[in-house]
Amino acid sequence: MKKAFISIILICAVTAVCSAAARKSRFADVVPSVEEKAAEEKQPPAETARDEKDIGIELPETPETYVKEAWDNPELWVIGTDGGSSIEINVCEAAYGPGLKIKYELKKGGGWVQFNKKLSGSFSEKTPFAFLVKARATGDMEIKFIDRDGSTFWRKVKLDKSYKDWRSIIVYGNTLEYAWGGDDNLDALSEISLAFSGRGNGTVWLDEIGFWKEGLPASFPPSGPVIDPDSELPGMGERQRRAEKLVPEEMLVLEWLKTVQDTSSPEKQLLPSMECNQAQTFNNALVAMAFILKGEKERAERILDFFSGMTFEANPCPRIQNFFYKNEPRGFFQFVELNESRGTPAYHNPGASDRWMGDMAWLLIAYKYYEKTYSSDRYGRITELLKNLLKSWYKAEDKTCGYVRHGWRKGDSRLHEDHGHPEGNIDCYAAFMLCGENDYAKKIRKWLDKTVKGKSLPLDLYTWRVLAFGKDYAELLNIPEYDLRYRKTTDFNGEKITGFYHSADMEIDNIWLDGTGHIACAFISCGDKHRGYFYANELDKFLINRKINGAALKAFPYTANKSGSFEWVRQDRGFVSVAAWYIFAKNGLNPLTLEQTDVEFR
């Protein structure tokens, strides 16, 4: 591995990889379909926004009686992008005088742009945030409220033909769904964000942006759980969401993982996420664990050897996948290019990848699984490096609790955020428990118990807590499992299939296969096997045929379809993390405790 590292360093020097590079999408090389390209090419040209007043509500000739203070000035907003997309905001003539004209172009494969306004003072929940909008655009518009503890609440709006003329959008806090950060209690509004995400480009006009008068009708229904009346139906079957036994594991999924490892790079070590050119640390940690579980020791070692070998302390290149930079421990990037691509050498960060604590925790868990399974100290050094890095990022909130901070962000442009990340700290709790660092684990768990509350959280904040904390937390699984905002039944390959979306959203009809694997493993691990079997069996219905180098294989897509900003997902390509979760579920493995439950097959 030293030789490989030295050769990569030479590539780094020769090609001047330390120069800035345009950031790619999180999952690179996702090529839009012919139909998607055609749709983008046929997008109508932007037009001047004036004279149309089909705005959804009766506005007076002087809208100042509705709008308390209009924010129709570009200088009031702070622009942000994903690094590869672009946005331009200018003043224009709008429905009621000066407004904002926003032109954006999202990067290939999917991207986002946003503009935020900081707020001061207090705001009544009875006062709506509202604006007039007109669009010639593709993708989604996102409306986000952010409170002082980092809690983000949002609503996505599809920018389709219904916005070709002026319309009003009126938003109250109780009509937004919790998205991420902090907790699910919107208590001290500090920032409003408007964003555009997905694919393509467009022009959007906004007018009369700000807080409007109380009592106006909301554009969206109130948020909150939508409980299935059959949620507690007894017995076995589709409606009951229980199965007597597991469908036997499809072994061609493991063969697909092996083939992808052998064909995706000359070194035959790391796997790309979606048969593309992007190697993600988290996904490779999962695959290494799946290989260990299935007795593929040498294949697991290929992945684990790569990371343990990329620990050259004097590394001078800030973008190579290496644990150190100039003798400073920083951890591994979330993703790098697997092979040279568009000027970015192999195993280099293409632009703005994070070195995120959650990935480090999962990689540490994979090393501990190898150690446990093979009674080996082969990876003792990298295990200590990862553990000590996470310990160094720990921040005490008081003497009894605290959290591990985020890590390096956006291509090492800054270190940490000003708040804790619950999902990543569940990972760190599990890793510390496996390392015998019980005091750190205990304090993180107390912080999580204090911080993570509510019924509209991201799915993995329920499933992973059960996997990490055990049966005492099993009731958390009923929150997403009973709630039709999470649990979806959708069509795939001509079949009706039930699974889970990653967040609470009634308007999205999509299934996140990773999350369905999470909940299957969680139910099995906490003793509710029949529900776990049901969701593991539902995954089998998502199997797709793949052929690589003449070999007939089976794999899973990342999502059932492209809705919910998953335009970058190809349903005809396999995704390695889903394959890993499928193997965990079919073999009764809890990947956060490394305990295995006996399962029954048909």
- What one-character-per-residue DSSP string does 310-357 give? ---TT---SSBS-SEETTEE----SEEESS-BTTBPTTB--S---EEH
Q: Phi/psi zone of residue 375: left (φ > 0), alpha (ψ -120 to 50 degrees), beta?
A: left
The separation between CA 524 and the C-alpha centre of its own chain, rounded to angstroms, equals 24
Integer Cα distance of 343 and 393 in angstroms: 33
- How does DSSP assign 219-288, residue by residue? SSPPPS--B-TTTT--SSBTTTTB-SSBPPP-THHHHHHHHHHHHSSTT-----SSSSSEEEHHHHHHHH
Contact 380, 357 (CB under 8 A): no
Which of 179, 211, 243 terminates a domain? The answer is 211
| 201 and 275 housed in the same domain | no
Integer Cα distance of 407 and 390 in angstroms: 9
What is residue 356's predicted lDDT score, i.e. its pLDDT?
Answer: 97
Which of 178, 196, 211 terminates a domain? The answer is 211
| Residue 339, domain extent | 252-596
The two structure tokens encoding residue 533: 């079997």
What residues have CB less than 8 Å from 466, skipping those under 6 apart?
473, 474, 476, 477, 522, 525, 526
What is residue 352's predicted lDDT score, i.e. its pLDDT?
Answer: 82
| 181 and 313 housed in the same domain | no
Q: Band of the pLDDT at 53, cuts 50, 70, 90?
A: very low
pLDDT in tens, 430-462: 999 999 999 999 999 999 999 898 888 999 999
What is residue 542's predicted lDDT score, i.e. its pLDDT?
Answer: 98
Which of 211, 234, 261 terminates a domain? The answer is 211
Whether the per-residue pLDDT at 40 is higher than 70: the answer is no
In the block, tokens 């079919």 appear at 586
Residue 589 lies in a domain: yes
| 153 and 289 housed in the same domain | no
What is residue 185's predicted lDDT score, i.e. its pLDDT?
Answer: 84
Residue 19 lies in a domain: no
Domain of 149, CATH number, reads: 2.60.120.430
- The Cα angle at residue 463 between residues 221 and 380, in degrees rounded to 5: 140
Of 15-24, 177-186, 258-267, 272-281, the poorest mean pLDDT is in: 15-24
Q: Band of the pLDDT at 224, cuts 50, 70, 90?
A: confident
Domain of 417, CATH number, reads: 1.50.10.10
Integer Cα distance of 383 and 308 in angstroms: 9
Q: Which helix (H) or strand (E) covers residue 14, if one does?
A: helix 2-14
Amino acid symbol at 282 = F
pLDDT in tens, 56-95: 555 544 555 567 778 999 999 999 998 889 999 999 999 8
- Nearest CA-CA partner of 386 in 408, 402, 363: 363
Q: How many domains are contained in the chain? A: 2
Q: Band of the pLDDT at 20, cuts 50, 70, 90?
A: very low
Integer Cα distance of 254 and 468 in angstroms: 25
What is residue 97's predicted lDDT score, i.e. its pLDDT?
Answer: 87
Can you tell me the mean pLDDT for 391-408?
97
Residue 225 lies in a domain: no
What is residue 57's predicted lDDT score, i.e. its pLDDT?
Answer: 53
The two structure tokens encoding residue 527: 């003793």
In the block, tokens 């308390």 appear at 68
| 175 and 268 housed in the same domain | no
In the chain, pLDDT over 90 holds for what percent of residues? 76
- Nearest CA-CA partner of 573 in 28, 9, 16, 8: 28
Whether the per-residue pLDDT at 31 is higher than 50: the answer is no
Of 178-192, 199-213, 307-321, 552-566, the poorest mean pLDDT is in: 178-192
Of 3-7, 240-244, 492-496, the poorest mean pLDDT is in: 3-7
Which stretches of 375-475 are DSSP H helices? Answer: 380-392, 422-434, 438-451, 460-469
- Nearest CA-CA partner of 131 in 51, 197, 216, 190: 216
Integer Cα distance of 485 and 465 in angstroms: 20
| 189 and 264 housed in the same domain | no
Residue 403 lies in a domain: yes
| 283 and 171 housed in the same domain | no
Can you tell me the mean pLDDT for 207-230?
91
| 149 and 264 housed in the same domain | no
Can you tell me the mean pLDDT for 505-525?
96
| 469 and 389 housed in the same domain | yes
Neighbours of 381 (CB within 10 A): 11
| Phi, psi torsion values for 544, nearest 5 degrees | -120, 155
In the block, tokens 């390096």 appear at 408
CA distances from 302 to 3, 148, 366, 399 (A): 15, 44, 13, 41
pTM: 0.78
What is residue 181's predicted lDDT score, i.e. its pLDDT?
Answer: 80
Residue 1 lies in a domain: no
Rg over alpha carbons for the chain, rounded to the nearest Å, is 24
| 195 and 270 housed in the same domain | no
Integer Cα distance of 308 and 330 in angstroms: 14
Residue 527 lies in a domain: yes
The two structure tokens encoding residue 93: 């003539």
If DSSP states are collapsed to H, E and C, what string results for 428-441? HHHHHHHCCCHHHH
What is residue 297's predicted lDDT score, i.e. its pLDDT?
Answer: 98
More confident residue, 151 or 321: 321
Q: Band of the pLDDT at 261, cuts 50, 70, 90?
A: very high
The two structure tokens encoding residue 168: 């009003």
The two structure tokens encoding residue 181: 């950060």
Q: Which helix (H) or strand (E) covers residue 299, if one does?
A: helix 297-309
Question: For residue 12, with 0-12 CB atoms within 10 Å meaning exposed, 13-18 middle and 19 or more buried, which class applies?
Answer: buried
Torsion of CA 19, 21, 27, 29, to 10 degrees: -110
Residue 569 lies in a domain: yes
Which residues sit opposite 551 in a β-bridge? 548
What is residue 70's predicted lDDT score, i.e. its pLDDT?
Answer: 81
| 483 and 574 housed in the same domain | yes
| 482 and 589 housed in the same domain | yes
In the block, tokens 């299957």 appear at 520
What residues have CB less than 8 Å from 48, skipping those under 6 apart?
92, 93
| Phi, psi torsion values for 325, nearest 5 degrees | -135, 115
Residue 541 lies in a domain: yes
What is residue 149's predicted lDDT score, i.e. its pLDDT?
Answer: 87
The two structure tokens encoding residue 251: 């072994």
| 569 and 439 housed in the same domain | yes
Exposure string of 97-132, with b = 16+ CB inside 10 Å and e = fewer, is eebbbbbbbbbbbbbbbbbbeebeeebeeebbbbbb
